[in-house]
Amino acid sequence: MGYNTNDEHKDIFLQLSFDNVQKISQAAMRAYEEKQFDAIEIIYSQFKNAATQIFTAEQFLPIPKVENKKAVLKPTLFSILTRQS
């Protein structure tokens, strides 16, 4: 399965700020609304130790529906970043 990617916004964590994230998320939402993409995923690596990084793809758009309100939700990248600031 191939991915159509946009590398204009790689290495965002090198200059992580609200303004940069806002510009990127607005560009992604605009591309999704204009049907340039069927889905938007955020792909990032999670540091586990010096030898291991865990690559993760998290769906940004469309927003996934929660089927069971009693289900335990795993933390998302957004929730982790907002708790740290």
Domain count, the chain: 1
Dist. CA 54–CA 46, nearest whole Å: 5
Residue 44 belongs to a domain = yes
Which residues is 43 bridged to in the sheet? 57
| Highest mean pLDDT: which range of 3-7, 13-17, 64-68, 71-75 | 13-17
* Domain boundaries, position 18: 7-84
Does the residue 2 lie in any domain?
Answer: no
Q: Which residue blocks in the chain are alpha helix, DSSP H?
A: 18-33, 77-84
pLDDT in tens, 38-74: 998 888 888 888 899 998 888 889 987 777 666 666 6
Judge whether 66 lies within some domain. Answer: yes
pTM of the prediction?
A: 0.61
Domain-embedded: residue 37: yes
Instruction: Kindly state whether residue 80 falls inside one of the protein's structural domains.
Output: yes
